Amino acid sequence: MSQDNTLQLPPELLAAVFGHLKQRDVLRAAAVCGRWRVQARHSRNYYPCLKYGTGMLFYLPNMPIVAKAERFSQAMHEVADNEDISRLRVIIRLAFRDDSQWTSPEYGNLEAVVRALILPSLTKCMKKIFRLDIHVPVTYYEVLSPGLCQPAPLLERFRLQGCLEHGTYRSIRPSHDLFGGHAPLLTDASFYGDRADIALDTPVPAFAQVVHLSLEEDATTHLPTLARLFPNVRHLDLRLCSLSLGVDDYGDLSRQLRTLSVSRHVYDEPKSDLIHAFLTDMRSVETIHVDFHRPSGFVGNPALVQVEPLFRHMWHAPNLCVALSQRGDEHLDLYEVRVHSDSNSSTQQRIISITKPMIPRCITDLAILSANITVFHLPHKFLRPYLQFTASLPSLARLVLHIGPYESRIYSESATFDISPMLSSDVEDSDTLGAGMWPALTHIRIHVEGTTTIRVQNDNLLAFLHCLQLPSPRQVLELAGPIVISGDGNKISLTAPLAGTFTLRRLRMGARRLQSRSLSIFQLRSATQYAECIAPAFCTRDPVATFHVIVSLSPSPAPNV
């Protein structure tokens, strides 16, 4: 498109384009011409971001403290006087390593610098600030308080982070007059006590409209009072080193919240029972995400994982879908258990982040939901260890087995996916083999990620299907991912043939439509016939092709020999 055509875009299309631009791109586009500048001013991302401060990793003598403060003050005053700028983001960070010996000929000490340069500029710009991040010790917070008590009619997000001051711990306590009690758009508040305490124990009118609340590290409050201090909070994120837990009634908070996220730092042995009671009382919350992952090097007791109350919240929900999946780098052994209902009658879900040693405890506690589980997602490597549990689920209709990108990289490019672990000697005599296995199962799905080729052994695959005692005459095996089905043609392991319809769908990357073809119904009398009839049709050397194979199988009478 030529430059002239670009400049002549209709207003509604131009507005849509600006709506997708990031803040930096909006500012650049505003400099193209007057028409674009007018349109940019209506964008939510048309705002400057002014920062002042340096982290604790630098000593003060190496930093131009006064020069930076003067430039920051000048920029803030220019923005305040510029009528073209209606929104401003401000970040003030005064987390210095050691300021007790610092002096300046012009101002004396750092407190005087903040009082003379930072405070007046903050006070003047408060009416334009829509996002404010403050990272200060108690002394500087008190210096900035007159500016923070100015009305903030545009403020939408506020983050307060306290830090250590001269090696002493002091509490930052937001005052009743914060933002002049007038912050009608403030819906997102975050309090982070970085080796300093932020105390939330008195009502602040400016927090009346907060919907998203985050409490981190040493931010302290009495949890049952949050419903009173933040009457409109719906989403609560707790990432605390400790909790002020007691034998309390959390009913009001539970009924008020829609989502609750709790981090690993909350879980310690002395408070295990109190945490169990707290999570139990959160039964009314729609979505709960609990992170039981321990910090690196921490030796925790998996028995302390309080999973059971989270699962008990879901015992009444029908058609439950349970998914165990690996998260993050393969060497970290991080996993996630997600439970939700496929029914429209329930919107609750529980998400639990754990490490590998905690998986047995989670599987054990899942037993309270066994009657309602209809879909189960499981990494293939866990099918054997938890075969007894999955095979006995009375309502399980769909089993999804995953080979993820981490697992597939361990294998070679043409690795073998053994779908028949229960046929091995150590479980061959198990009561779960044959009759009684997965009494309601009608659909098996195998999903492979992260490799261009994976081989599925035909004899194990068909023997696995044949041993299932399914109530429906129609069974479905779905293979999704870049899969090659192959057979060696040497082993005949079927005691009875299977008949089926194989549908191959091939989707090339960038293709506009799905190419598909079906193979006619045929008799599978042996693994050899399977290899000869099916494998040539499915094999490919195209690394960008994705195959979606649906196999519908039904038992067929044995042929006359």
pLDDT in tens, 322-378: 999 988 766 678 899 999 998 888 889 999 998 888 899 899 999 999 999 999 999
Give the residue-averaged pLDDT of 253-281: 78
pLDDT of residue 243: 57
Helix (H, G, I), strand (E, B) or coil at 546: strand
Q: What does the block give as tokens for 89?
A: 């983001």
pLDDT of residue 268: 54
Question: 24-55: string of b/e by CB count within 10 Å (b at 16+)?
Answer: eebbebbeeeeebeebbeebebbbbebebbbe
Q: What DSSP state is assigned to residue 83?
A: T
Residue with the bigger pLDDT between 388 and 258: it is: 258
Q: What number of other Cβ atoms are within 10 A of residue 490's Cβ?
A: 9
- Residues forming beta bridges with residue 335, ordered by sequence position: 326, 354
pLDDT of residue 311: 94
| Residue 149 amino acid letter | C
CA 125 – CA 77 distance, rounded (Å): 7
pLDDT in tens, 488-510: 333 322 222 333 344 434 333 34
CA 122 – CA 89 distance, rounded (Å): 11
Computed on alpha carbons and rounded to an integer, the radius of gyration of the chain in Å comes to 31
In the chain, the percentage of residues whose pLDDT exceeds 90 is 28
Give the residue-averaged pLDDT of 455-479: 51
Domains of the chain: 1-46 (1.20.1280), 48-220 (3.80.10), 395-401+409-561 (no CATH)
pLDDT in tens, 157-204: 999 988 777 656 678 889 999 999 989 999 999 998 766 678 888 899
If pLDDT is split at 50, 70 and 90, which confidence band does 239 have? confident
If pLDDT is split at 50, 70 and 90, which confidence band does 438 have? confident
CA distances from 251 to 229, 235, 348 (A): 15, 15, 17
pLDDT of residue 393: 92
CA distances from 287 to 205, 468, 560 (A): 28, 36, 57
Q: What does the block give as tokens for 122?
A: 């903050």
In the predicted model, is pLDDT for residue 82 greater than 80?
yes
If pLDDT is split at 50, 70 and 90, which confidence band does 263 have? confident
Q: What rounded mean pLDDT belongs to the chain?
A: 72
pLDDT of residue 35: 75
pLDDT of residue 444: 76
Burial of 81 per CB tally in 10 Å (0-12, 13-18, 19+): exposed
- Give φ, ψ of 91 to 5 degrees: -125, 120
**Of 315-319, 333-337, 545-549, which gets the smallest average pLDDT?**
545-549
CA distances from 354 to 31, 80, 500, 534 (A): 49, 49, 40, 41
In the predicted model, is pLDDT for residue 520 greater than 60?
no
Give the residue-averaged pLDDT of 255-281: 77
What is the CA angle 104-106-112, rounded to 5?
A: 75
Give the residue-averaged pLDDT of 59-81: 79
In the predicted model, is pLDDT for residue 447 greater than 90?
no
Query: DSSP characters for 402-429?
Result: EE-HHHHHHS-TTEEE---GGGSTTTTT
Residue with the bigger pLDDT between 218 and 58: it is: 218
If pLDDT is split at 50, 70 and 90, which confidence band does 46 have? low
pLDDT in tens, 92-138: 988 765 555 566 677 777 888 889 999 999 999 999 999 999 998 88
**Of 15-24, 110-119, 275-284, 409-418, which gets the smallest average pLDDT?**
409-418
Residue with the bigger pLDDT between 291 and 240: it is: 291
- Give φ, ψ of 342 to 5 degrees: -85, 0
pLDDT of residue 247: 62
Contact 113, 66 (CB under 8 A): yes
Kindly report each contact of residues 341-345 with a partner whose C-beta sits within 8 Å and lies 24 or more positions away, as own/partner.
341/314, 341/317, 342/374, 342/375, 343/317, 343/318, 343/319, 345/317, 345/318
Helix (H, G, I), strand (E, B) or coil at 167: coil
Could you tell me how far CA 68 lies from the centroid of its own chain?
38
If pLDDT is split at 50, 70 and 90, which confidence band does 276 have? confident
**Of 26-30, 200-204, 398-402, which gets the smallest average pLDDT?**
26-30
If pLDDT is split at 50, 70 and 90, which confidence band does 547 have? very low
In the predicted model, is pLDDT for residue 515 greater than 60?
no
CA 553 – CA 479 distance, rounded (Å): 13
pLDDT of residue 139: 87
**Of 13-22, 41-50, 146-155, 410-419, which gets the smallest average pLDDT?**
410-419
If pLDDT is split at 50, 70 and 90, which confidence band does 269 have? low
Give the residue-averaged pLDDT of 317-322: 95
Tell me the pTM: 0.75
The alpha carbon torsion through 257, 259, 261, 266 (nearest 10 deg) reads 30
Give the residue-averaged pLDDT of 22-47: 72
CA distances from 283 to 251, 315, 322 (A): 9, 11, 18
Q: What DSSP state is assigned to residue 114?
A: I
Contact 507, 545 (CB under 8 A): yes
In the predicted model, is pLDDT for residue 521 greater than 50?
no
Residue with the bigger pLDDT between 40 and 452: it is: 40
